[in-house]
Amino acid sequence: PRPGSVRAAAGRRSAGGRAPAPAGVARSRSLRVKTARGDVVDCRAVVHCMNGYSAGLLPELEGSLVPVRNQVAVAAPPAGARLPVDAAVYAREGYVYYSPRADGRMVIGGFRDTLPHREVGTHDDGSLDPLVSAALRGYLPAHFPQHYAEAGPGTTDTPPGDGRLHVEYEMEWAGILGFTKDRFPLVGPLPALPEGSRALLQGSSSGNTSTSRAGQYICAGFSGHGMTRSFSCAEAAARMLLGLPPSPDAPMPQAFLPQGRM
């Protein structure tokens, strides 16, 4: 998707009413967010949290923060036996991973290395790649034959009484990851655009292009590790926005800052 735009709107009152301006964000300079359908919101700060879709609003990230489609499935609890593993596992350099759940189900995902392009640059999460699906669904019976028997999607077609369990996949879905070149997320204030680049902030009164992006932040590019990093990164971004010092419990690595990386 291609969102609308973010523009400088000098002197406009924030849509936030009487809320005080966040520390470090100039009170005299608000931002105007205009969506593709024409909705307008005035605010004092904007945080870009679009992960793999970030280049839609920040075109300089094209190629350096890319969308990557990932597929995941859930295998129903095997009847009559324990799961083959009791901890999360990853294999094939991280392209395959699986994790047992407390209720006996197995979550298994990845398999992007089945395809030559490894799903890099794929924006569409509304469809599944059949080659990835076949590799994903065949992994458990191939590697744990004593626990899982080969079966078609959503079926239990292995004859009963053969001493093996049946694979039944309850669901399968796709999601879009956001990968950076160095695999570190981008968290913090956006750097100014270089002179001569296409600015996303434009002076509303004069129409002159501006390279400043004061009041704009980013929290994106988790490179497949969003479940472990997104919460602490979101806290770090919020503390920056409010002018608070870093959290003493989970200080953010300086390598996550976007300066010099976009």
CA 181/CA 183 separation, integer angstroms: 6
pLDDT at 198: 52
pLDDT tens for each residue of the chain, 262 residues long: 445 555 544 333 333 333 333 444 444 458 888 888 889 989 989 999 999 999 999 999 999 999 999 999 999 987 666 788 899 999 999 999 999 999 999 999 999 999 999 999 999 999 999 999 999 999 998 898 878 865 444 444 444 445 444 688 999 999 999 999 999 999 999 998 876 555 444 433 334 455 778 899 999 999 999 988 999 999 999 999 999 999 888 889 999 999 989 8
pLDDT at 77: 84
CA angle 44, 48, 51 (to 5 degrees): 170
pLDDT at 92: 94
Distance of alpha carbon 204 from the chain centroid = 32
Residue 132 in contact with residue 112, Cβ under 8 Å? yes
DSSP labels for the chain? ----EEEEEETPPPTTTTPPPPTTS-TTEEEEEE-TTS-EEEES-EEE--GGGGGGT-GGGTTTEEEEEEEEEEEPPPTTS--S-SS-EEEGGGTEEEEE-TTS-EEEEE-GGGSTTTTBT----SS--HHHHHHHHHHHHHH-TTT-B---TT---SPTTSS--B--EEEEEEEEEEEETTS--EEEEPPPPPTTS--SEEBTTT--EE---TTEEEEE--TT-HHHHHHHHHHHHHHHHTTPPPPSSSPPPGGGS-TTT-
Q: Which residues contact 215 (CB under 8 A, 6 or more apart)?
A: 25, 26, 29, 30, 31, 44, 45, 46
**pTM of the prediction?**
0.76
Residue type, 191: P
pLDDT at 213: 87
pLDDT at 258: 95
pLDDT at 227: 86
